[in-house]
């Protein structure tokens, strides 16, 4: 059976810098008078074969060099909103990597104001509600993260939470307890990448030591039966990104992806694109790939979409409206 079209869903695991398409990289390089290490579209496109998380991160950070001005960040964000909304995303919680820009000399205000200006127009332009999450680079120091968090709080940046991303193995949650304590005291939501390449113990520590409300990825939790039972009992949201996991070789093939087992274990999983410009597609493409690979029926698709809406930080009225829209979608599938 061909895919179900555009289930209304929330996207909860999305790095806005990972939406930067090769065409926009070229356009921004020209606009900013920059020479790229891979100066043609074909040469750039040839770099998108990854062997693990680090090989992706190297290109991801290198490509950010074209993001210089507030307008660059606004254009990138608007392009994401247009594409995601066309694929059924009704609410998105969007991470950005402030440290990756500040270290290049881009003012934090240009980053925040550029992204925030596009998000502020999103409901009217695209019918999409949004939230902005500052993600911190776990391969940098906790002191550096704390300094940037204080700057974001001092400038009253419109963030709803913090996350933790970049190179996971060797950079465990234990390194960032003070950062998460500070963010909690500031009233922010707390999420973290855990169990993408790192072991199940990182998932446990993110829950117990950082107090996170959601886990980004979490697929390696499946190696620890006691943890699986806990995640099921507590209904901890796991923002799973299947196409990302295949492209970064966390799993060998989509057929071997643990999502069906995660669903069978009663885990609160939802589907996300992570870095759609790098991993082969947006949320709708992830849904379509899984429907093809595993033959998911409309009930399973609706379960995944419902999990995304309920696990979001949207307010109660917005969640209710989206769950109603999802129910209508389900009825239409017969």
Minimum distance, C-beta of residue 199 to ligand HPA, in the bound complex (Å): 15
Whichever of 132 and 302 has its CB closer to Zn ion, that residue is: 132
Residue 93 is a binding residue for ligand HPA (CB under 6 A): no
Query: Rounded to an integer, what distance in angstroms lies between the CA atom of residue 162 and that of residue 276?
Result: 21
* Number of residue whose CB is nearest ligand HPA: 165
User: 240 with 308: CB under 8 angstroms?
Assistant: no
Whichever of 17 and 296 has its CB closer to ligand HPA, that residue is: 17
The SS3 call for residue 311 is coil
What is the enclosing helix (H) or strand (E) of 162?
strand 161-165
Q: Is 154 exposed, middle or buried, given 0-12, 13-18 or 19+ CB atoms closer than 10 A?
A: exposed
Residue 274 is a binding residue for Zn ion (CB under 5 A): yes
Q: Which stretch binds Zn ion (CB under 5 A): 101-109, 143-151, 180-188, 274-282?
A: 274-282
Terminal CA-to-CA distance of the chain, rounded, Å?
14
Among 18, 22, 173, 198, binds ligand HPA (CB under 6 A): 18
User: 119 with 130: CB under 8 angstroms?
Assistant: yes
Strand 89-96's sheet: what is its strand order? 9-15, 89-96, 129-137, 161-165, 189-194, 214-217, 237-240, 268-271
Q: What binding mask, one character per residue, do residues 244-263 give for ligand HPA by CB under 6 A, x or -?
A: x-------------------
Minimum distance, C-beta of residue 302 to ligand HPA, in the bound complex (Å): 26
The candidate with the shortest Cα–Cα distance to 315, out of 121, 112, 115, 93, is: 93
Whichever of 8 and 272 has its CB closer to ligand HPA, that residue is: 272
Among 70, 93, 205, 275, binds ligand HPA (CB under 6 A): 275
Kindly determine how many residues on this chain lie close enough to bind ligand HPA according to the rule CB under 6 A: 11
Sign of the alpha-carbon dihedral angle for 94, 26, 78, 104: positive
Torsion of CA 178, 184, 185, 188, to 10 degrees: 130
Residues 154-213 that bind ligand HPA (CB under 6 A): 165-166, 193, 196
Minimum distance, C-beta of residue 218 to ligand HPA, in the bound complex (Å): 12
Torsion of CA 237, 242, 243, 249, to 10 degrees: 110
Q: Which residues are catalytic?
A: 196
Query: How is residue 127 annotated by DSSP?
Result: S
Q: Which does 122 bind (CB under 5 to 8 A by kind): ligand HPA, Zn ion, none?
A: none
Residue 97 is a binding residue for Zn ion (CB under 5 A): no
Q: Which does 53 bind (CB under 5 to 8 A by kind): ligand HPA, Zn ion, none?
A: ligand HPA
Query: What are the φ/ψ torsions at residue 21 (nearest 5 degrees)?
Result: -75, 150
Whichever of 258 and 306 has its CB closer to ligand HPA, that residue is: 258
Residue 205 is a binding residue for Zn ion (CB under 5 A): no
The SS3 call for residue 20 is coil
Minimum distance, C-beta of residue 290 to ligand HPA, in the bound complex (Å): 18
Q: Which does 196 bind (CB under 5 to 8 A by kind): ligand HPA, Zn ion, none?
A: ligand HPA
Residue 11 is a binding residue for ligand HPA (CB under 6 A): no
Query: Rounded to an integer, what distance in angstroms lies between the CA atom of residue 178 and that of residue 142?
Result: 8
Q: Which does 198 bind (CB under 5 to 8 A by kind): ligand HPA, Zn ion, none?
A: none
Q: Could you list the residues that contact ligand HPA (CB under 6 A)?
A: 15, 18, 53, 60, 165-166, 193, 196, 244, 274-275
Q: Could you list the residues that contact Zn ion (CB under 5 A)?
A: 274
């Amino acid at each position: 059976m061909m895919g179900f079209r555009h289930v209304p869903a929330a996207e909860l695991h999305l790095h806005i810098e990972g939406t930067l398409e090769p065409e926009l990289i070229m356009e921004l390089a020209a606009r900013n008078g920059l020479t790229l290490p891979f100066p043609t579209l074909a040469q750039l496109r040839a770099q998108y074969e990854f062997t693990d998380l680090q090989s992706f991160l190297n290109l991801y950070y290198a490509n950010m060099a074209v993001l210089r001005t507030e307008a660059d960040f606004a254009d990138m964000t608007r392009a994401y909103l247009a594409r995601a909304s066309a694929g059924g995303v009704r609410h998105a919680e969007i991470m950005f990597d402030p440290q990756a820009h500040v270290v290049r000399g881009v003012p934090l205000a240009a980053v925040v104001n550029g992204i925030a200006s596009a998000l502020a127009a999103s409901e009217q332009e695209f019918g999409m509600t949004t939230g902005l999450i500052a993600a911190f680079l776990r391969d940098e120091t906790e002191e550096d993260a704390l300094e940037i968090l204080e700057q974001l709080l001092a400038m009253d940046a419109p963030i709803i939470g913090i996350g933790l991303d970049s190179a996971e193995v060797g950079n465990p949650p234990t390194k960032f307890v003070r950062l998460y304590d500070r963010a909690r005291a500031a009233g922010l939501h707390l999420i973290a990448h855990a169990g993408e390449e790192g072991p199940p113990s990182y998932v446990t520590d993110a829950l117990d030591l950082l107090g996170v409300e959601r886990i980004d990825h979490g697929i390696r939790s499946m190696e620890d039966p006691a943890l699986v039972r806990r995640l099921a009992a507590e209904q901890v949201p796991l923002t799973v990104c299947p196409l990302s996991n295949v492209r970064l070789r966390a799993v060998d093939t989509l057929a071997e992806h643990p999502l069906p087992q995660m669903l069978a274990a009663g885990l609160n999983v939802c589907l996300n694109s992570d870095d759609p410009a790098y991993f082969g597609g947006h949320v709708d493409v992830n849904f379509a790939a899984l429907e093809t690979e595993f033959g998911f029926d409309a009930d399973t698709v609706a379960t995944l979409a419902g999990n995304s809406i309920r696990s979001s930080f949207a307010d109660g009225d917005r969640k209710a409206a989206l769950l109603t829209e999802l129910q209508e979608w389900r009825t239409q599938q017969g």
